[in-house]
Each structure stands twice: as C-alpha cells, then as structure tokens.
Structure 1
Amino acid sequence: MFKKHQIYKTDNYNMLTVEVQGKTLVIREISDQWGEECHTFVSRPEMMHWAERRFRTEDYVGREDELKAIMEAFREV
C-alpha cells in the first residue's frame, strides 16, 4: 500500500498529490488545462528542487500564504 499525500485540491480537476512508493516519490498533478501529469523522483531533495521550480515566488504575488502552504505540504511528505 502506498502512502498518499495531498498537496492541494481546489476541485476534482485541479489537484496535486504525492504517492510514496518505497523510495520512489510519484507526483500526480491534475489540471483542467493540461490533464494529468506524472513526475517520478528517487529522492526528496530531487522532488523539492522540482517543486521550487514549479511553484515560483513570482507566480504567487499577492498569494504568498498559498505558496507557503503548498511548499510546507511538500516538506511534510
């Protein structure tokens, strides 16, 4: 059984989860624009590096609390 972490979910079409499959981390990102994307990482530092590039500070101007919550959820995985 895999442990699943929900990073965010705004509705059934916009969500991001992380599944811990042994040493492998699988990110499933579902959006109404792009459908489902999967990203597989072999370490937490690699996943955090991706997350920091994917969720950039300049994209969350005025929504810093939202960005902070997303990054905190990644750190808790």
Structure 2
Amino acid sequence: MIKKHQIYKQDKWNMINAEVHGSRVVVRIISDQWGEDNFEFLSRPALMHWAEERFTPERFEGTEEDRLQILDNFRNV
C-alpha cells in the first residue's frame, strides 16, 4: 500500500509530494520552472538529512514559518 503525503503546494504547478512504499520514500518535486524531479530515500533519516540540506534558511525563498512547516511535514511522513 502506498501512502501519499502533501508536503507543500502553492498551485497545480508548484508542489512537493512524498509517497511511502514500504520502507522507501519517493519525493516528487513539481515546478513550473524545472518540471518534475524525483528523489528516492531508503530511510526516513536519509529523507530528513536531504530535506534539512535542501531547505536551509539561506536557500529557501519564502518565510521562515513556511520553511519550518515544510520541514515539519517531512518529519510527519
């Protein structure tokens, strides 16, 4: 059984979703600028490491509240 989690959604062209396939987690990032990127993780600690590196305060283009909400959504996967 696949469990789907919505991490972030701005509109139908900009979103991040996570799908749990047993012990694997597949993250799909859909962007109107870059298209679709998929990332596969074999553990939740690997997922969180990636998320914390990708969504650092220096790299995130949004409010700190939005960034923390995205990281919290990843923790709940």
Q: Calculate the TM-score normalised by the size of structure 1.
A: 0.93
User: What are the superposed Cα offsets for residues 3-36 of structure 1, whole Å, 9 maximum, x if unpaired?
Assistant: 0000000011100000000110000000011100
Q: How far apart are the structure 2 equivalents of 1:57 and 1:35?
A: 23
Aligned in 2, Cα 1:62/1:5: closer, same or farther, shift over 3 Å?
Answer: closer
Partner of 1:33: helix, strand, or coil? Answer: coil
Letter in 2 for 1:23: S
Instruction: Provide closer, same or farther for how the CA distance between residues 31 and 61 of structure 1 changes in structure 2, counting only shifts above 3 A.
Output: closer
With normalisation by structure 2, the TM-score equals 0.93
Identity %: 53
The AA in structure 2 aligned to 1:33 is Q
Please show how residues 1-77 of structure 1 align to structure 2 within 5 Å. 1-60=1-60, 63-77=63-77
Q: Give the 4+ runs in structure 1 shifted more than 4 A.
A: none
Runs of 5+ in structure 1 lacking a partner? Answer: none
1:42 is displaced (CA, Å) by: 0.3
- Hey, what's the Cα distance between the residues in 2 that align with 1:62 and 1:15? 14
Q: Which runs of 5+ in 2 are unaligned?
A: none
CA drift at 1:72? 0.4
Q: CA RMSD in A?
A: 1.3
Q: Quick check: which one's helix share is greater?
A: 1
